[in-house]
């Protein structure tokens, strides 16, 4: 295996020297034939994740948004502003993920993990398309154009987007193990921290029975993001397990610094977008929530908690929106099972988000 600052080799497409012996396979630099056989794969977690992702397939433009179009003008100016800014950020992240996942997959020598990355890229495409459909359906075309161009004019958004893409591009330009680890960690943090104040904003609208179609869409997106987070958690853990020499104390403290940076950026962004003017989402709540996420994400990849004082979830009601299909008692799971074709239409009326009373 290359040293931490040496150059990694992309996997060979045609590899006659490869073997099907799963006991000798590795996540990167392994002797794979590239043949996908789940029955004989090294990483059982990848097979499980692939099947879960596949079962989550959904079609954005079959969700009705007529009520959202009617309701949007009745939102407060702050809610409208947060709606547009949040979408602008999500559009950017999901769109760049589509290509970046391919860059990572080029170095993965476990076909079952490559399958998950390709499936993830497909779901990111669905997400990018869903935002397009959302804006086309809910706002006028000038507002839609402004949201798509916002990242060029809004210095805060530009700074954030540049930070993320710089990390990705650094690995593409210089594919060393160190940059690979940092790129995977950036993916992990993007899936596990960067989306969350935005999702929380949409769920506060849902709690007030506002923009139900948008909220249903965001919930389906977050259901997918949970699988992406699980994928990068497993990738990081496997890298740590198989390449201990790479994970020096210096790299480990670097990864903790990345968590802290991600948390700081997400808190600043959340506050900037909501301006302390969104019901149920104060600056303080955002700060506590994102720090709490920073802790649980760190623990998931064997890093120390960066915010030991933030032990509790300050917005636990969010979990009833975001953790669907993870527990049997989740109310949304019951509704999603009704997301089935009835003739030409999906029975999606029951995807309506819960009101505050239903959540109790
Ligand atoms: Fe996504
Ligand atoms: Fe994702």
pLDDT digits (tens, 9 = 90+) for 145-201: 999 999 999 999 999 999 999 999 999 999 999 999 999 999 999 999 998 999 999
203 as an active site residue: the answer is no
Taking residues 259-284, report their average pLDDT: 96
User: 322: pLDDT confidence band, cut at 50, 70 and 90?
Assistant: confident
Inter-residue contact 163 to 265 (CB < 8 Å): yes
Res 328: pLDDT: 31
CA–centroid distance, residue 91 to ligand 1 (Å)? 9
Residue 351 has pLDDT above 70, yes or no: no
In this prediction the pTM is 0.90
Inter-residue contact 28 to 107 (CB < 8 Å): yes
Kindly report the average pLDDT of the chain as a whole number.
89
CA–centroid distance, residue 20 to ligand 1 (Å)? 33
Phi-psi region of 209 (alpha: psi -120 to 50; beta: other; left: phi over 0): left
Taking residues 288-304, report their average pLDDT: 97
Domains in the chain (CATH in brackets) are 61-351 (1.10.620.20)
Res 323: pLDDT: 66
Q: Which residue has the higher pLDDT, 357 or 319?
A: 319
Task: Give the ranges where 208-282 is alpha helix by DSSP (H).
Answer: 212-242, 249-274
CA–centroid distance, residue 3 to ligand 1 (Å)? 33
Res 342: pLDDT: 32
Give the lowest-confidence range in 53-57, 60-64, 217-221, 350-354: 350-354
pLDDT digits (tens, 9 = 90+) for 30-85: 999 999 999 999 999 999 999 999 999 999 999 999 999 999 999 999 999 999 99
CA–centroid distance, residue 21 to ligand 1 (Å)? 34
Res 331: pLDDT: 31
User: 275: pLDDT confidence band, cut at 50, 70 and 90?
Assistant: very high
pLDDT digits (tens, 9 = 90+) for 337-349: 333 333 333 333 2
Taking residues 302-314, report their average pLDDT: 96
3-class secondary structure, 342: strand
* Ligand that lies nearest to the alpha carbon of residue 117, given by its number in the listed order: 2
CA–centroid distance, residue 224 to ligand 2 (Å)? 7
The burial of 341, by beta-carbon neighbours within 10 Å (0-12 exposed, 13-18 middle, 19 or more buried), is given as exposed
User: 324: pLDDT confidence band, cut at 50, 70 and 90?
Assistant: low
Res 354: pLDDT: 41
CA–centroid distance, residue 49 to ligand 2 (Å)? 13
Helices and strands in the chain: count of H runs, count of E runs: 13, 2
**Which residues have C-beta under 5 Å from ligand 1, the single-atom ion?**
94, 124, 127
* Ligand that lies nearest to the alpha carbon of residue 192, given by its number in the listed order: 2
Question: Which is the catalytic residue, given 43, 50, 131, 196?
Answer: 131
C-alpha distances in angstroms, 94 versus 89, 140, 173, 195, 283? 9, 22, 21, 10, 25
DSSP assigned state of 345: E
* Ligand that lies nearest to the alpha carbon of residue 227, given by its number in the listed order: 2
CA–centroid distance, residue 180 to ligand 2 (Å)? 18
* Ligand that lies nearest to the alpha carbon of residue 187, given by its number in the listed order: 2
Share of the chain above pLDDT 70, in %: 89
């Amino acid at each position: 295996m290359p040293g931490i600052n040496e150059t990694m080799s992309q996997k060979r497409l045609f590899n006659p020297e490869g073997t099907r012996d799963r006991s000798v396979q590795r996540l990167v630099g392994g002797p794979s034939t590239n043949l996908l056989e789940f029955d004989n794969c090294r990483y059982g977690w990848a097979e499980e994740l692939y099947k879960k992702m596949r079962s989550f397939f959904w079609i954005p433009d079959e969700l009705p948004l007529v009520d959202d179009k009617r309701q949007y003008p009745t939102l407060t100016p702050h809610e409208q502003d947060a709606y547009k800014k949040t979408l602008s950020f999500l559009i950017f992240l999901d769109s760049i993920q589509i290509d970046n996942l391919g860059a990572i997959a080029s170095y993965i020598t476990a076909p079952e993990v490559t399958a998950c990355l390709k499936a993830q890229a497909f779901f990111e495409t669905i997400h990018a398309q869903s935002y397009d459909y959302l804006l086309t359906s809910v706002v006028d075309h000038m507002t839609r154009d402004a949201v798509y161009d916002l990242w060029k004019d809004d210095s805060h958004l530009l700074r954030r987007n540049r930070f993320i893409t710089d990390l990705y591009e650094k690995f593409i330009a210089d594919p060393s193990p160190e940059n690979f680890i940092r790129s995977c960690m950036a993916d992990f943090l993007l899936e596990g921290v960067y989306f969350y104040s935005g999702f929380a904003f949409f769920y506060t609208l849902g709690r007030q029975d506002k923009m139900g179609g948008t909220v249903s869409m965001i919930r389906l997106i977050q259901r997918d993001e949970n699988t992406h987070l699980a994928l990068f958690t497993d990738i990081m853990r496997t890298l740590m397990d198989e390449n201990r020499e790479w994970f020096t104390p210096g790299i480990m403290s670097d990864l903790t610094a990345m968590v802290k940076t991600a948390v700081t950026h997400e808190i600043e962004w959340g506050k900037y977008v909501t301006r302390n003017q969104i019901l149920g989402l104060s600056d303080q709540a955002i700060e506590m929530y994102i720090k709490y996420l920073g802790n649980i994400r760190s623990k998931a990849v064997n890093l120390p908690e960066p915010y030991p004082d933030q032990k509790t979830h300050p917005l636990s009601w969010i979990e009833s929106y975001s953790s669907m299909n993870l527990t049997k008692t989740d109310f949304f799971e019951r509704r999603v099972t009704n997301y089935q074709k009835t003739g030409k239409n999906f029975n999606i009326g029951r995807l309506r988000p819960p009101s505050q009373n239903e959540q109790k």
